[in-house]
A and B are shown apart, each in its own frame.
Chain A
Amino acid sequence: AQRVTQPEKLLSVFKGAPVELKCNYSYSGSPELFWYVQYSRQRLQLLLRHISRESIKGFTADLNKGETSFHLKKPFAQEEDSAMYYCALISPRGQGGSEKLVFGKGTKLTVNP
């Protein structure tokens, strides 16, 4: 079964320090992976998708198929990066079903001044 694991429930860093939020997955085939973010008192929103190979708000994430990982990185964390981060993948259609997003449990990032 497709699964997303975020081993860290909480992560705390100081402003200006590098940050890495870990995400590992289990998936048979070529996965489509994403990072979602939820800032305080805001709704969940898409941060980036691996297929785009983009950098959003200074964050990047590289898909490593050998290690089955999709870690989210930022070289210099900012206080406004404090939020809940969820890694997710698209699970393919099951019998009679449709594609769906499978989420990890999330990592709460706190960037201290």
Chain B
Amino acid sequence: SAVISQKPSRDICQRGTSLTIQCQVDSQVTMMFWYRQQPGQSLTLIATANQGSEATYESGFVIDKFPISRPNLTFSTLTVSNMSPEDSSIYLCSVAGQGVTIDTQYFGPGTRLTVL
């Protein structure tokens, strides 16, 4: 298994600002994923971040709004840019290790973001 930490655990931000969320894993992993869970909604995949390559974004999510970094095999960041109240959500990081199937994802505790 993998132990995942996220910072910050929660934040309250003003409209128009940006927030960078960090995801740290205690072991090297191949795939990292960023999800959004809006109030009362399901988890929606934002992007897949593999080390050494550009992040792959899902339909409806763009790099300008959600830039992602993946500098090494244990760390990634997601930035929520130019925030609006509609960005209020829980943002989750998850990982899958090399050689394991995608269903064996380990999830972080999430970052609860409120945009005023």
Contacts and interface: CB of A to CB of B under 8 A. Distances in A.
A46 B104 contact: yes
Contacts of A90: 101-103
A86 B105 contact: no
A49 B110 CA distance: 23
Contacts, number: 52
* Interface range for B: 20 to 34
B76 interface: no
B43 A97 contact: no
B42 A99 contact: no
A27 to B, nearest CB: 14
Interface in A14-44: 32, 34, 43-44
A66 interface: no
B102 A101 contact: yes
| Residue from the set B58, B94, B103, B109 with the largest chain A CB neighbour count within 10 Å | B103
B84 to A, nearest CB: 23
A100 interface: yes
A108 to B, nearest CB: 11
Interface residues of A, number: 22
Interface string A68-95: 0000000000000000001010100000
A100 B92 contact: no
Interface in B46-68: 48, 56, 58
Given A96-B56, A98-B56, A100-B58, A46 B105 contact: yes
A45 interface: yes
Given A4-B42, A43-B109, A90-B102, 4 more contacts: A34-B103, A46-B104, A96-B56, A101-B105
Interface of B: 4, 31, 33, 40-45, 48, 56, 58, 92, 94, 101-110
